[in-house]
Amino acid sequence: MEDLVIRDAEVVDGSGADSYRADVVVDDGRIVSIVKEAAAAGCQRPDAMRELDAEGLVLSPGFIDMHAHSDLALLRDPDHSAKAAQGVTLEVIGQDGLSYAPVDDRTLAEVRRAITGWNGYGDDIDFTWRTVGEYLDRLDHGFGGEGIAVNAAYLIPQGTVRMLAMGWEDREPTPAELDRMRQLVAEGMEQGAVGMSSGLTYTPGMYAKDAELTELCRVVGERGGYYCPHHRSYGAGALEAYEEMVALTREAGCPLHLAHATMNFGPNKGRAPELLALLDDALATGADITLDTYPYTPGCTTLVALLPSWASEGGPEETLRRLADEETAERIRHHLEALGSDGCHGVPVEWETIEISGVTDPSLAGYVGRTVRESADLRGETPWTVARRLLRTDRLGPTILQHVGHEENVRAIMRHRVHTGGSDGILQGGKPHPRAYGTFPRYLGTYVRELGVLSLEECVAHLTGRPAARLRLPDRGLVREGYRADLVLFDPAAVAAGSTFAEPRTLPVGIPHVLVDGRFVMEDGRRTDVLAGRAVRRAPRPR
């Protein structure tokens, strides 16, 4: 007898096709039978050891978060309800060109400092790994060998690779250094990574020129992976930056997935159709492109990321040294406020849009939840004085929300046929962006039920089948016989994000059941103690 039968579910199967009513039978972690319209047909209904009445609920594949920052959270928090409660059954980590493998001892220490704002410093983590394969093995055997809350796939971080091969210098690599980077990327792919990410407004990855990136993308494409860049500008040069990535990956023969593909900042208001036309033209001529977005207007990053790239050359300690020097700090301010630094996407910073969302030093907690300008006005100081103090005192740790988005762009991009969902959720900080806890129910509740921007079937396909196809996963992302039983049951009339900018860690409503590998990680709206998640590896492509 099978493990579980889910009775009378409204199945939205992840393909975009019309929903249908069915009994779905799960056994040994897979969907073994789908009996459509079982009750109405009066046929022999499937039996199982356990029966779940899904009347009034939609059954869909588990949601795939195509842009997650849970690299340490998956090893720190066995509960991980931030994602499990949303119906996320697979996260793609290693994003924006900075993560924790491959590394050596020096690089690990540097990258931990560089992305403290994203993941915490990691004092509570035993960093036993150095290679991509060892990190994936660690995910497989998290929490005493039981596993992790949800599945995870990994992108090789190009900035970390560059850091490992040649440090933090703003220069072109030597032939030997480029060969070393190619080797590191090839090893990571062969050990199970699904592709490579870049953070081209983050140091040191942003120092790479197109020729260097093209060579690394060749390695990724040859091994069946994809390139996921946070490209060089989301502001003044956004369209040119998108064009650059399309051209680069086509030359390299590598599929392209555009990370958090927004059109933000004042210069891009109402310009989403131009981006979509650019993508349509490339797709029409054979380009392999997908993208992800989150259903919110503000962005989220670290405060230090706004600085001009020259201010971060040499690594975190050099950045702090420059901030301590009065003359150099004034140059940084001028680039930020007058010229528009490359770290701020070529747009002069508007301090009234920069809200501090997290700090690591408890003495700075009073700045959290206020914009830099608000804190400056309260203290009778200039915004730069406040920002500089935060960077120095918190040793580059502050995270920020950047209120620079446009709702019409958000809606236009999410309608596109190559769109997928990604939270870009940073889980650290006193008041993190609510997208970390709310992205997927917000798509379903706000943009499907309330606004009708997408149909339910379309939206589920954007969150399941389409990302699984990008990841080239042969048995995930659809409700099909033989597929993995990574499944979500939600109430389409009630599903909604609970998280808000005021209360960002509130869990969603209307998602009572979530299964990973056929096991309930959420049951009746509560997190179980099941740790069914594992590393999802790309099988090496024969060459």
List, for residues 212-228, the tens digit of each pLDDT value: 999 999 999 999 999 99
Span of 45-54, 280-289, 424-433 with lowest mean pLDDT: 45-54
| pLDDT, position 543 | 47
Q: What is the pLDDT of residue 539?
A: 67
Query: Tell me: the pLDDT tens digits for 59-76?
Result: 999 999 999 999 999 999
Please name the residues in contact with 487: beta carbons below 8 A apart, sequence gap of 6 or more. 6, 24, 26, 31, 59, 60, 61, 62, 89, 479, 513, 514, 515
For residue 361, name the pLDDT band (cuts at 50, 70, 90).
very high
Strands (E), 261-309: 289-293, 299-302
* Cα 375 → chain centroid: 30
What is the DSSP track for 116-147?
HHHH---TTS-----SHHHHHHHHHTHHHHT-
User: Is this prediction's pTM over 0.85?
Assistant: yes
Distances (CA, A) of 18 to 13, 14, 119, 468, 504: 8, 10, 40, 19, 34
CA dihedral 248, 252, 253, 258 (to 10 degrees): -40
Question: What is the per-residue pLDDT across 362-388, written as a single tens digit (0 to 9) for each?
Answer: 999 999 999 999 999 999 999 999 999
CB 15 within 8 A of CB 464: no
Place of tokens 């500008």: 233
Nearest CA to 228 out of 206, 212, 241, 245 is that of: 245
Q: Is the pLDDT of residue 40 over 90?
A: no
Cα(449)–Cα(455) distance, rounded to whole angstroms? 8
Pick from 12, 78, 85, 14: which is nearest to 425 by CA? 85
Which band of pLDDT confidence, cut at 50, 70 and 90, is reported for residue 1? low
136-175 pLDDT per residue, tens: 999 999 999 999 999 999 999 999 999 999 999 999 999 9
For the residues 286-308, what does the mean pLDDT come to? Answer: 96
Q: Check pLDDT > 60 for residue 441.
A: yes
CA 114 to chain CA mean position, Å:
18
Q: What pLDDT score was predicted for residue 38? A: 62
Is pLDDT at 77 greater than 80 in this prediction? Answer: yes
**93 and 99 in contact (C-beta within 8 Å)?**
yes
Please give the structure tokens belonging to residue 159.
């900035």
For a pLDDT cut of 90, what percent of the chain falls above it?
A: 95
Tokens of 417: 């046929």
Predicted confidence (pLDDT) at residue 2 exceeds the cutoff of 90: no
Evaluate if residue 42 carries a pLDDT over 70. no
Work out the average pLDDT over 469-498.
98
Angle, CA 293 vertex, CA 249 and CA 71 arms, to 5°: 80
User: What is the mean predicted confidence (pLDDT) over 86-90?
Assistant: 98
pLDDT tens for 492-524 read: 999 999 999 999 999 999 999 999 999 999 999
Confirm if 32 and 26 have CB atoms less than 8 A apart: yes
Res. 46: pLDDT tops 90? no
List, in order, residues 6 or more apart from 243 with CB less than 8 Å away: 278
Q: pLDDT digit string (tens) for 190-213?
A: 999 999 999 999 999 999 999 999
Comparing C-alpha atoms, which of 201, 207, 260, 252 is closest to residue 226?
A: 252
**Chain mean pLDDT for the chain:** 96
